[in-house]
Structure 1
Amino acid sequence: MPTSPSSSAQAAREALAVRLSHLRKDAGLTGRELSARCGWHPAKTTRIQKGEAPPSDADIRAWCAACGAEEQIENLIATARAVDSMYVEWRRLHRDGLRTMQQNVNGRHEKARVCRTYVSNVVPGYLQTPAYATALLTSITTFQGTPNDVAEAVAARVARSRFLYEGGLRYVVLLEESVLRTRFGDADTMAAQLRHLLTVMPLASVSLGVIPFSAPRVIWPLEAFYMYDDRHAVVETLTAEVNITQPRELADYAQAFAGLSKMAVYGDNARALITAAIDSLG
């Protein structure tokens, strides 16, 4: 089985910690000596060297100065910031509400030419109706206990649908059949959302496939992920957004998407599954 999608972020933290540890050793300093020069408790040095505590910009400056390695400061700060952006908790992203994050996601779509999307839980944001988005974002806000700006966040999310009709962005979407059967809002809200999927399917910018419950699994169900061209993937876990840019990992997600695509049905067969889900709502 694969490791957690946060594992690459942790590995990057540990690699940064090793670089800092090597600087200390090259300077001939013990952990206590470096701590004294930096003016903090030795336990902090230990946590940084184990990758348990991410160093701040100020920490890196102090560390490099203590080691006589000021020329490393800029590079190490850039590395630390990149590591920090790999694994970001939702509560941190949503600390001021959901709207800002929704606007930032729109920026990703503006820069992409192809967005490959796999979801096993909810309809992708750019295909959501306002009522469905309201029900979903309300549940997220309640769960996370973050400020309630659902109305503004829904407006920003629904605005993303403009990319379906303008520009050259193409969406290749794979839904597990469970997405069609997992209800957000009341029956009318869910039925309208499913009918909206039928409406967007003929668009030239959209390729939509559904993986039936009955499909023999080549790839097991995964957490939702979005691939922007071949340069950036975003994996959504319960607690965090994981940003992936390492070529090897991007290749793994591309391979998984290809396998999932082979299990999906398209066209009339996909429409039949969506229509059956609508009919089941009564």
Structure 2
Amino acid sequence: MPISPSSSAQAAREAVAQRLKELRADTGLTGPELAAHCGWSHPKTYRIEGARTPPSADDIRRWCQACGVPGQADDIIAQSRTAESMYVDWRRKVRTGLKQLQNSYVPLFKATELFRVYSPTMVPGLIQTEGYARGLMTSITRFRDIPNDVADAVTARLERSRIIHQPGHRFTMVIEEAVLHYQLGDSDAMAAQLGYLLTVGALPQVSLGIIPSATAERPMWPQELFHVYDDTLVSVELLAARVQVTQPSEIATYVKAFEELRSMAVYGADARILITKAIDALH
């Protein structure tokens, strides 16, 4: 039985609480003794350890200081933040349509210098054409049975994608070759999208890699679609939800996976050959 969003979040909160409890136990401090070091009442210690009260960043720093491991505070703070915002239910995020979702990314995009995107299923949103985006969003709207604001959502997506041409940003994107053959929209829309990949892949600020389907003995198996924003956030897209990863050790795992995937991809002329083959296959 799949884990519900609420139980996933609770499990993550409990993991933070257990980690803090183990730090206290390893130090040999009792609950009241730790409370005295931190400057709060001892019931608060037990509420935090019982995952009934989420600790603030300051609480975690005091806790780690009292246990003699201040260097662990940043990682635990990130873990705690992830627990509170890790699971964004798509039903809640898109209940009023898709335009609002597109606009919600704009501040993050503006603040990000290095975008790393891996997609096994579709052309990344930042380099989608109008027809392709319309085909994709029409399918999403139908599947999720949400208000149809596809026209406005497509406009919003194209507007936010202009960041590709704005200074101060770099984009490294890796897709599986199969993406070139998954037809979203009609043949004309797909042909236009593939043609745009030839154009955007030549931009100096964009690195577009394609992992050939025939790659032998892959060192990394296909992953879920994920975005890495600088080294501060990973957004993983699942069917039911978006998972946001902010814990440094977990971000490092995704960066490592991305580098493995990137090393398997072909670029430049070899990538253009795969795209051209996909275009020819449409006719």
TM over 0.5: yes
- How many angstroms apart in 1 are the aligned matches of 2:96 and 2:80? 24
Q: Read off the aligned partner of 2:165 and give its amino acid letter.
A: Y
Pairs aligned (count): 242
Q: Read off the aligned partner of 1:194 and give its amino acid letter.
A: L
**Structure 2, unpaired ranges of 5+:** 1-5, 22-30, 33-41, 63-77
1:167 counterpart SS class: coil
Counterpart in 2 of 1:193?
Answer: 193
Taking a change above 3 Å as real, the CA distance of residues 218 and 153 of structure 1, as seen in their structure-2 partners, is: same
- How many angstroms apart in 2 are the aligned matches of 1:205 and 1:196? 15
1:280 and 2:281 are equivalent in the alignment? yes
Counterpart in 2 of 1:169?
Answer: 169
Counterpart in 1 of 2:254?
Answer: 253
- How many angstroms apart in 2 are the aligned matches of 1:97 and 1:81? 27
Q: Read off the aligned partner of 2:154 and give its amino acid letter.
A: V
- How many angstroms apart in 2 are the aligned matches of 1:252 and 1:7? 24
1:88 counterpart SS class: strand
The farther-off stretch of 120-129 and 146-155 is: 146-155
Taking a change above 3 Å as real, the CA distance of residues 7 and 259 of structure 1, as seen in their structure-2 partners, is: farther
1:209 and 2:243 are equivalent in the alignment? no
Matching of residues 129-144 of structure 1 within 5 Å: 129-144=129-144
Q: After TM superposition, give the deviation of residue 161 of structure 1 in Å.
A: 2.1
Q: Read off the aligned partner of 2:86 and give its amino acid letter.
A: M
Q: After TM superposition, give the deviation of residue 167 of structure 1 in Å.
A: 2.1
1:242 and 2:243 are equivalent in the alignment? yes
Matching of residues 50-199 of structure 1 within 5 Å: 83-199=83-199
Seq. identity, %: 48
Q: After TM superposition, give the deviation of residue 204 of structure 1 in Å.
A: 1.2
Q: After TM superposition, give the deviation of residue 10 of structure 1 in Å.
A: 5.4
TM-score of the superposed pair, with normalisation by structure 1: 0.76
Which deviations, in whole Å up to 9, do the C-alpha atoms of 1:236-270 show, x marking residues without a partner?
01111010110111110011011001110000000
1:95 counterpart SS class: coil
Taking a change above 3 Å as real, the CA distance of residues 9 and 270 of structure 1, as seen in their structure-2 partners, is: farther
Taking a change above 3 Å as real, the CA distance of residues 265 and 171 of structure 1, as seen in their structure-2 partners, is: same
Counterpart in 2 of 1:31?
Answer: none
Q: After TM superposition, give the deviation of residue 281 of structure 1 in Å.
A: 0.3
TM-score of the superposed pair, with normalisation by structure 2: 0.75
- How many angstroms apart in 2 are the aligned matches of 1:9 and 1:256? 24
Which deviations, in whole Å up to 9, do the C-alpha atoms of 1:65-120 show, x marking residues without a partner?
xxxxxx98xx9xx9987533211111111111111111111221100000000000
- How many angstroms apart in 2 are the aligned matches of 1:132 and 1:97? 18
Q: Read off the aligned partner of 2:118 and give its amino acid letter.
A: Y
Q: Read off the aligned partner of 2:257 and give its amino acid letter.
A: A
1:209 counterpart SS class: strand
Q: Read off the aligned partner of 2:224 and give its amino acid letter.
A: E
Taking a change above 3 Å as real, the CA distance of residues 9 and 178 of structure 1, as seen in their structure-2 partners, is: farther
